[in-house]
A and B are shown apart, each in its own frame.
Chain A
Amino acid sequence: MMQTLFDYTTLRLIWWVLLGVLLIGFAVTDGFDMGVGALLPFVAKTDTERRVAINTIGPVWEGNQVWFVLGGGAIFAAWPALYALSFSGFYLAMFLVLFALILRPVGFKYRSKREGAAWRRNWDWALFVGGAVPALIFGVAVGNVLEGVPFHFTDDLRPIYEGTLFGLLNPLALYCGLVSLAMLVMHGAAWLSFKAEGPVADRAAAFGSKAALVTALLFADGGILIWLGAFGGYQVTSPIVWDGPSNPLAKTVALDSAAWVKNFRATPWLAIVPLIGIVAPLLAAVGFSVRRAGLTFLASKLGVACIIATVGLSMFPVILPSSTHPNDSLAVFDASSSHATLRNMLIATVIFLPIVLGYTAWVYKVLWGKVSATTIQNAGSSVY
């Protein structure tokens, strides 16, 4: 049993799943922070309303953001070639994300430390940028991954990226950016209607039901386009050695218009995942209109998770395809860390992730309850 659990193939598959878990963990937690940021100017008009909105995420955004940082670290440790290629390849896009995310911690922390209207308005815009820009860019990045990224390796396995910033802005990528933005706005609205009281929650619900409908529509529409072969995918054409050395130059890959749907054709029950990705946002849309905040937030979480999982499932076993040198694409079986590192990292994850989830749950429990204008006025300077 231990032998099979810890062989190289199994570990690679586990780490592929964990890569998904990390991305979903990030989108489900930090995603609502970004959604709240993007909604801030629209759902909260007065200063008190804005503080209500900000303080719904005030105590938790910091922990949520660690999912992002952990995502970076875990990709570095488990998929070093992916880490090296994606962040150097999407260089300026990554810089924009970092720029936006740097604004966020300081925005939260500093906004309410001073009175001036201009001071607070500027930080509100910073928080808006810190929410909306990463939400958009992450989607654009996923779109480019689906489309294929122009890169190759030298024979020393030095990654060479051949694209430009504007090359990232192709139609499929922009489309995915919109899906991502709509999805996280829905998620942020679900959180606000769950956690805030008064006009902020009302406006959030109104925005949320629209965003949820748009999410379901865009996602379903994108799925149909891919199903019809409007966007090609990449197919590994050489025999796959699942436990071979991680060297991305040892296989062949070809463009194939049906590649991104082949896993769903081969294993039809997997289609439940994209299906939930459509149905859950629709449920959320209903939940917003009948004001069942708890269920709405749950449906929103489920929708976000399934939309992200769909991308992974359709690409498997490819992780990052190269549009100019398809053979150099990164795949589950040739872009991972060594057997020993995957095993060590899994042990660390099995020990620490339950602990993290445990105390995170405890903190959410302590902070349980709604944030309203009265809470803000009574709390004095112990809130943002």
Chain B
Amino acid sequence: MTNPLLVELSRLQFALTAMYHFLFVPLTLGLSVLIAMMETVYVMTGRTIWRDMTKFWGLLFGINFALGVATGITMEFEFGMNWAFYSHYVGDIFGAPLAIEGLMAFFLEATFVGLFFFGWDKLSSRAHLAVTWMVALGSNLSALWILIANGWMQNPVGAAFNPDTMRMEVTDFAAVLFNPTAQAKFVHTVSAGYVCGAAFVPGISAFYLLRGRYIELAKRSFVIAAAFGVASALSVIVLGDESGYTITDNQKMKLAAMEAMWKTEPAPASFTVFGIPDMQAHDTRDAIEIPWVMGLIGTRSIDQQIPGIFDLVQKAEGNIRNGLVAYDALQKLKKNHADAAARADFEKTRGDLGYALLLKRYIENPLQATPQQIHDAAWSTVPSVPSIFFTFRFMVVFGFALLAVFLTSLWYTMREAEAPRWLFKLALFAFPLPWLAAELGWFVAEFGRQPWIIDGVLPTFLATSELGVFNLVLTIVGFTAVYGVLAVVECSLMLHAIKRGPDAVTGETISFADFPTITGAGAVAPAE
């Protein structure tokens, strides 16, 4: 069996690089759409302040985009580097959306993003607007494809294990593409990205408004972002991806962990607002519950039951016993590919093969497992309930807080009167919340999937490359150092650009308070 330390380090490295990458991606998603909207207003009205807004937010977008791209390269190769067995085992299915993502989305955004910055003088305003929308479309399509890949990890539809090639192979590509879990995740994640963009713009605009600088640009940016924010925050909350969690047993386990719901309740289940989940006692202490709400959120119905952890564990034990039949048949097939009886046994039970692999944590040959080991393996399908329970709650609280901030902002800015200063301070403080919520959301989805890397198919602890621990330590230190330096550089450049303000990109030396005496863009500005 693989060195447990290697597994933990591989997971740590993936979490570090993915969560770091995911600091930049949501902002790219949200800001690309916001910028495209601003430029649309410019092209429709011909008012140059909207072009200046496009250029200014575009500058900040570019700084963020560079790091999103740079850290994304790591992700594309990390599966092969650190998760070689995973890559071989499911590459037939998982690789396809990644490749299509490159072909359909990365080329689009990367090819047009150059023209977005370099093409102002070379393109008509309509052509440039089309370029900007292509960048936004490319970013959003890339989210679609990566979430089709990730959705398959959560709900592995349309595939089966092939004993001749010892790996999972696609049986129904349409099912992989139209996986309901992936659809739910896409809408939820993209909306979360829009919320990031919608909090970033008013956050910085609020900074200008508090200082009394670039009032016209900041005001307009504040309004458009607040409106965009209300829509995105509503979408992120209403279309939360827990709707996808009732489809499979493992998704149900994640849902039960999020709710710390140990026993199955009669439908509709109550929602635990707060409590202290106890992994040893299998109970949640000091729980405060609201009747009905969980059933409504989880099933969108009042009569469907949501199973609790005890029932799911019991079911997992059955799956393990069934999986052992498949495992046994597979060993026979390895020795003799023509063994018809073994093949027939395997066909019947192969859906549960992954459950037998859970036993490899306890014993080299799962067929020799004791009943106690099978029992332990069944309980190993329960993720860390307290971590999931609390991170989920923090994410939800941040989501609602953001909705409140956007609604308040929109309410005040829609009125004729001057918006109060505390509103701008509020927007400034709300700035980091969507990032916190997005990272917590990633954690709930991925940590909540444990012990599986592919739900019900492959346990995480079997999926790594056979690397020396030293290699992992070296690269973790390396990535941390490089990413750390880049974070400092990025922040300093952002702050630098924000302090210099929009003048630096629009070529204006006058304040925007003097608007509308705006002239040609960028032509006379000194090289920065």
A: which residues have CB within 8 A of B? 51, 58-63, 65-66, 68-70, 72-78, 80-81, 83-88, 91-92, 94-95, 98-99, 101-102, 104-106, 108-110, 112-115, 155-161, 245-247, 337-338, 340-341, 344-345, 348-349, 352-353, 356, 359-360, 363, 366-367, 376-383
Could you tell me if A382 and B117 are in contact, using CB atoms closer than 8 angstroms?
yes
| Apart from A59-B114, A159-B465, A245-B165: 10 A-B pairs, beta carbons within 8 A | A58-B118, A69-B102, A73-B98, A80-B87, A101-B73, A161-B465, A247-B165, A341-B169, A367-B118, A383-B118
Q: Which of B115-162 contact A (CB under 8 A)?
A: 115, 117-123, 134, 162
Given contacts A102-B74, A337-B91, contact A363 B111 (CB under 8 A): yes
Are A58 and B114 in contact (CB-based, < 8 A)?
yes
A383 to chain B: which residues have CB within 8 Å? Answer: 118
The digit string for B92-117, where 1 denotes a CB below 8 A from any CB of A, is 11111011111110111011111101
Given A58-B114, A105-B66, A366-B115, does the pair A68, B73 have CB atoms closer than 8 Å? yes
Least Cβ distance of A19 to chain B in Å?
Answer: 12
Which of A51, A109, A382 contacts B121, CB < 8 Å? A382
Q: What residue in chain A is nearest B91 (Cβ atoms)?
A: A80
Contacts of A160 in B (CB 8 A): 466
Taking the closest CB of chain A, its distance from the CB of B102, in whole angstroms, is: 4
How far is the CB of B37 from the nearest CB of chain A, in Å?
21
Asked whether A77 and B103 contact (CB < 8 A) given A62-B111, A69-B76, A380-B525, the answer is: no
Interface code B302-343, partner A: CB below 8 Å = 1, 0 otherwise?
A: 000000000000000000000000000000001000000000
Closest CB in chain B relative to A244 CB, distance in Å:
8
User: Do residues B70 and A102 form an inter-chain contact, with CB atoms below 8 A?
Assistant: yes
- Asked whether, in the complex, the Cβ of B69 is within 8 Å of the Cβ of A91, the reply is no
Residues on the A chain within 8 Å of B72, using CB: 69
Can you give 20 contacting A-B residue pairs, CB < 8 Å?
A58-B118, A62-B113, A66-B111, A69-B72, A70-B103, A73-B102, A76-B87, A77-B95, A78-B95, A80-B92, A81-B91, A98-B73, A106-B70, A158-B88, A245-B164, A345-B99, A345-B100, A349-B103, A366-B123, A380-B524
> Which residue of B is nearest A368, CB measured?
B122
CB-CB < 8 A to A348: which residues of B? Answer: 96, 99-100, 103-104
A76, B82: Cα distance in complex, Å: 14
Interface centre among B84, B171, B528 (most CB of A within 10 A): B84
Nearest A residue to B96, CB-CB = A77
Tell me if B85 counts as interface (CB < 8 A to partner A).
Answer: yes
* Closest beta carbon of chain A to B476's beta carbon, Å: 10
Is the CB–CB distance between A363 and B77 below 8 Å? no
Top 9 A-B pairs, shortest CB-CB distance: A80-B91, A87-B80, A77-B95, A76-B95, A59-B114, A70-B102, A63-B111, A380-B525, A73-B99
Contact assessment for A356 and B103 in the assembled complex, using a CB-CB cutoff below 8 Å? yes
Query: Residue B213 at the A interface, CB < 8 A?
Result: no
Is B62 on the interface with A (CB-CB < 8 A)?
yes
Residues on A with C-beta less than 8 A from B103 are 70, 73-74, 348-349, 352-353, 356
Taking a contact as CB atoms under 8 Å apart, the answer to whether B114 and A363 are in contact is: yes
Contact check, B466 vs A159: say whether CB atoms are below 8 A apart.
yes
Task: Tell whether, in the assembled complex, residue B170 and residue A76 are in contact, meaning their CB atoms are under 8 Å apart.
Answer: no
B98, closest chain A residue (CB): A73
Task: Give the residue name and chain of the B residue nearest to A158 (CB).
Answer: B85
**Residues of A with C-beta under 8 A to B497:** 113
User: B287 on the interface (CB 8 Å rule)?
Assistant: no
Q: Which residues of B contact A (CB under 8 A)?
A: 59, 62-63, 65-67, 69-74, 76-77, 79-82, 84-85, 87-88, 91-96, 98-104, 106-108, 110-115, 117-123, 134, 162, 164-167, 169-171, 173, 334, 465-467, 471, 474-475, 478, 482, 486, 489-490, 493, 496-497, 504-505, 507, 522-528
Contact A112-B114, Cβ < 8 Å, known A160-B466, A247-B166: no
| Distance between Cα atoms of A367 and B523 in the complex (Å) | 17
* Among candidates A66, A86, A104, residue contacting B80 with C-beta atoms closer than 8 Å: A86
- In contact, A91 and B166 (Cβ under 8 angstroms): no
Q: Identify the closest chain A residue to B17 (Cβ).
A: A98
CA of A382 to CA of B67, assembled, Å: 19
> Of all chain A residues, which has the CB nearest B55?
A382
A39 to chain B, nearest CB (A): 21
Name the contact of B122 in the complex, choosing from A69, A106, A245, A367 (C-beta under 8 A).
Answer: A367
Q: Within 8 Å CB of B85, what residues of A?
A: 84, 158-159
Tell me which residues across on chain B come within 8 A of A363, comparing CB atoms: 111-112, 114-115
Tell me the nearest residue of chain B to A376, going by C-beta: B527
Q: How far is the CB of B505 from chain A (nearest CB, A)?
A: 6
Complex-state Cα separation, A80 to B524, whole angstroms: 53
B118 CB contacts on chain A under 8 angstroms: 58-59, 367, 382-383
Q: Are B66 and A106 in contact (CB under 8 A)?
A: yes
Report chain B residues within 8 Å CB of A70.
99, 102-103, 106-107
Choice from A63, A73, A247, A353 contacting B76 with Cβ under 8 Å: A73
- Chain B hits for A356, CB < 8 A: 103, 107-108, 111
Q: Is the CB of B173 within 8 A of A344?
A: yes
Complex Cα gap A72–B79 (Å): 10
- Chain A residues lying within 8 Å of B173, measured Cβ to Cβ, are 340-341, 344
A248 closest partner in B (C-beta): B165
Please give, as numbers and ranges, the residues of chain A lying within 8 Å of B122 by CB-CB distance.
366-367
B87 interface neighbour in A84, A367, A380, Cβ under 8 Å? A84
- Which A residues are in CB contact (< 8 Å) with B87? 76, 80, 83-84, 87
Q: How far is the CA of A91 from the CA of B74 in the complex (A)?
A: 12
Q: Is the CB of B82 within 8 A of A88?
A: yes
Contact between A113 and B84, CB atoms less than 8 A apart: no
Q: Closest chain A residue to B462 by CB distance?
A: A158
Complexed CA–CA distance, A360 and B59 (Å): 23
Q: Which of A69, A80, A83, A360 contacts B167 (CB 8 A)?
A: A80
Residues of B within 8 A of A59 (CB): 114-115, 117-119
Which one, A81, A91, A102, A340, contacts B88 given CB within 8 A?
A: A81
Chain A neighbourhood of B171, CB < 8 A:
340
Beyond A76-B98, A87-B80, A157-B167, whether A108 also contacts B66 by CB under 8 A is: yes
List of A residues within 8 angstroms of B111 by Cβ: 62-63, 66, 356, 359-360, 363
Cβ–Cβ contact B84 & A88, under 8 A: yes
Q: Contacts A60-B114, A109-B63, A341-B169; is A245 near B96 (CB within 8 Å)?
A: no
Q: Which of A77, A78, A344, A356 has the most chain B CB atoms inside 10 A of its CB?
A: A77
Contact of A109 with B120 at beta-carbon distance under 8 Å, contacts A83-B91, A101-B73 already known: no
Instruction: Give Cα distance in the complex from A366 to B76, angstroms.
Output: 30
